[in-house]
Copies of this chain bind each other. A is one copy, B any other.
Amino acid sequence: MKQGTRKQQIVNVAARLFKERGYSAVTMRDIATAMGIKASSLYNHISSKQDILTNIIIFLAEEFTNGMEAIRVSNISNIEKLNQIIELHVNITIQNTFEMASLNNDWMHLEERLEYYLKLRDDYEDNFREIIVEGMSNNEIVNGNPEVMLFSILSTLRSLYLWIPKKEDLKPEELSKNLINVLINGVKA
Q: Residues of A with Cβ closer than 8 Å to B? A: 20-25, 79, 82, 105-106, 108-109, 132, 135, 139-145, 147-149, 151-153, 155-156, 158-160, 162-163, 167, 170, 175, 178-179, 181-189
Contact = CB atoms under 8 A, between A and B. Distances in A.
B178 A148 contact: yes
- How many copies of the polypeptide does the oligomer hold? 2
| Complex A-B, nearest 4 residue pairs according to Cβ-Cβ distance, in ascending order | A186-B186, A155-B159, A24-B24, A24-B25
Main secondary structure of the interface of A (DSSP, over half): helix
A142 B187 contact: yes
Contact of A187 (B21, B158, B183): B183
A117 to B, nearest CB: 16
Contacts of A106: 22
B151 A159 contact: yes
Given A144-B181, A187-B142, A105 B105 contact: yes
Contacts of A25: 23-24, 109
Contact of A186 (B156, B163, B167, B184): B184
Given A21-B109, A22-B106, A184-B187, 13 more contacts: A22-B108, A79-B188, A141-B188, A144-B178, A145-B170, A148-B178, A151-B156, A151-B162, A153-B187, A155-B160, A182-B186, A185-B186, A185-B188
Contacts of A143: 189
B181 A183 contact: no
A29 to B, nearest CB: 15
B132 A148 contact: no
A189 B140 CA distance: 5
Given A167-B147, A188-B79, A182 B152 contact: yes
A148 B186 contact: no
A21 B108 contact: yes
Nearest to A186: B186
